[in-house]
Each structure stands twice: as C-alpha cells, then as structure tokens.
Amino acid sequence: MRPFDYQRAERLEHAAQLAAGEDTMALAGGTNLIDLMKLQVETPQTLVDIGRLSLGEIADDGEGLRIGALASNTATAAHPRVRSDYPVLARAILAGATQQLRNKATTGGNLCQRTRCYYFTNIDQPCNKREPGSGCGAIDGIAKLHAVLGTSPHCIATYPGDMAVALSALDATVEIAGDGHERSVPVREFHLLPGDTPERDNVLEPGEIITSVTLPAPVGGTHIYRKVRERSSYAFALCSVAAVIDMADNRFTRADLAFGGLAHKPWHDPRIADLLIGSEPSAALFDKAADLLLEDAQGYGENDFKIPLARRTLTAVLCEATGVEA
C-alpha cells in the first residue's frame, strides 16, 4: 500500500469537490478498493471517504424505489419492497460474495467494483486496464473467467458483479452527482465495453459520485436470478442470467433479460425481448434467443465453454419461467 491522504466528506457537494482532485478516489464500503490498494493495483493519492454522507436510504420514489448509494447490499436484499416487488434484485445480491462482504458493500461501490481478472490484480503482469499499453496477459493466458461477448483485442475482462445484472434486467437508472451538476444514466449504459480504453470501466467522470439507483415501477412477473459457479458461494459467475418474465395466454408479454460473467458489462440485448414477446414459449424459440445472444460470441480457448454454457443457462431459465420442458 502506498501512503495516501485520507479525507472525510461531510456533505455531498464537499465530496464532489474533493473527489475532483487529481488521483482521487471515493471510498465507500472498501471491500474491493482497499484490497486493490494493498496490492498497489490502485494507488490513489487521496481517498475521499464518503461513508458519512446521508446516502443510505431506501425509499419510495414515485411508483418506483430509490436505493441510496451507501445502502449496504445486505440492507437492500432484505428490504421488504425489494423482496416483494424486485425479487430478482434480492436474489442477485444474495448470490454474490459472502454475508460479511455484503454487510460492508454498498450499492454505488458494487456498481464500481473492478474486474477479477488475474492479470489486472497482479502488478507484475501486463494489463491494459491497469496500465494502458502494457498488453493483455489473459488473451493467451488463464482466461477461464473471461468474456466471450463484446471483447476487444486490448481486454477480455468481465464485469464481476451480480447486483448490476439484476439492475440491468430491471432497467434501473444510476443517479450521479458532480461538482455542481447532476445526471441520470440507465444502468444498461453505465458500464462500458473495453474497446480501445479498457482502463475505463464506466461513464463516471472524475469528481462524479453515484448518489442512488432508482428502480422503475414494479412490473410483476416471474423473477429469476440464475448464477452458474464452481462452488456454491463466494465465487464469481461463470455465467449468470437475470430474468423478469411475464406471460399472458401462453405468450411472452415481458422478457427482460440480462447476463453476467460474459462481458465487460452486464449484457443486455434488446433483440431478445423483441424475439420473445408475443411468441409462444418453446425449446426452438429459446434456441433462437440463444442464437441472438451468442451471435458474435468469441471464445479465447479456456473460456470457450462459456458459449454453450450461456445457451444452456438461458434455456434453463426460460424453461423454469415458462414451464416448458426441454
């Protein structure tokens, strides 16, 4: 760990001012950032502790729900409205990390968590995300956890989280405050693909801080979060599917799907809902949905298995939601 300055923000405006400084990072739960600082993967000059700001509230927001950026993952997953109206979110959160980590981890921090690529977390290895231009160790290396969708020649890392995958299926919005401004970004647009700038995980600009995530009015339906992993807890997803599905007269009326473990961001492909809505569920239809999802999928040897695994996991989720047997 490198020596750093520690500042505690007392008010939001103060936090945004502080966070705009050079080499400055905001500290919330610290479950990811502090580990990375110990490894010198992150070496901020200044840490702005936003933990004392009043951003922990979970409250009704019109017909929807506003989840404060500092609400703990545990509090969000246990919140009665989340459990009754957005169960896919509760399930996704509870599928991630461990109870101890969820107690500390926050909504905003979770969205900003960094990849678990082995080459990113080892400062003696090349990584374009950590050190632009140094190369990508994973492409010809250990890539079992890595992305098959939306990769670039510079980076094949995945976004590791679960919560954001559910937020993507729910079409939630990220509320952001900067020094003197506020803006809203749909979760589906919050994370970026690696492209030529894999060092950028998301759209946050220096000095911007997430204040909350807002969920639209509840839509009902069947909520599923399916996470495939090697061990049954404390493991990142090989592949995950968040699904909000509704049917009428044996036809899809809603099919909001998002995928984790496959890309640099929670993956959402609007063509899948377009295909499913209005159609009768069947194994053949699910196969077509998987074809769309995986049309441009590319494996890197070790992670080739993710392509058939994603197909099978999507099929399993759609079968579970619709009662189709395949």
Q: Applying CB under 8 A, which residues contact other proteins? A: 1-3, 38-40, 116, 118-119, 122-125, 137, 140-142, 144, 228-235, 238-239, 305, 308-309, 312-313, 315-316
HEC letters along 177-243:
EECCEEEEEEHHHHECCCCCCCCCCECCCCCCEEEEEEECCCCCCEEEEEEECCCCCCCCCCEEEEE
Which lies closer to other proteins via its Cβ, residue 189 or residue 302? 302
Which lies closer to other proteins via its Cβ, residue 52 or residue 234? 234
| CA within 13 Å, CB half, 128 | 20
Which lies closer to other proteins via its Cβ, residue 110 or residue 315? 315
Which lies closer to other proteins via its Cβ, residue 33 or residue 215? 33
Q: Nearest approach, Cβ of 266 to other proteins (angstroms)?
A: 19
Q: Nearest approach, Cβ of 230 to other proteins (angstroms)?
A: 5
Which lies closer to other proteins via its Cβ, residue 285 or residue 316? 316
Q: Nearest approach, Cβ of 23 to other proteins (angstroms)?
A: 16
Return left, alpha or beta for 65; rule: phi > 0 is left, psi -120 to 50 is alpha, else beta.
Answer: beta
Q: Nearest approach, Cβ of 238 to other proteins (angstroms)?
A: 6
Which lies closer to other proteins via its Cβ, residue 64 or residue 137? 137
Which lies closer to other proteins via its Cβ, residue 18 or residue 297? 297
Task: Report how far apart, in Å, the C-alpha atoms of 311 and of each of 63, 98, 146, 295, 326 are.
Answer: 35, 27, 16, 11, 13
Q: Nearest approach, Cβ of 303 to other proteins (angstroms)?
A: 9
Rounded Cα–Cα distance for residues 86 and 79 (Å): 10
HEC letters along 36-96:
HHHCCCCCCCEEEECCCCCCCCEEEECCEEEEECCCEHHHHHHCHHHHHHCHHHHHHHHCC
Q: Nearest approach, Cβ of 139 to other proteins (angstroms)?
A: 11
Which lies closer to other proteins via its Cβ, residue 220 or residue 308? 308
Q: Give the CA dihedral 248, 249, 251, 255, nearest 10 degrees.
A: 10
Q: Nearest approach, Cβ of 67 to other proteins (angstroms)?
A: 26
Q: Nearest approach, Cβ of 123 to other proteins (angstroms)?
A: 8
Do residues 175 and 57 touch, judged by C-beta distance below 8 A?
no
Report the amino acid identity of residue 99.
Q
Q: What angle (nearest 5°) sits at the alpha carbon of residue 104, between those of residues 101 and 108? A: 105
DSSP state letter for 114: P
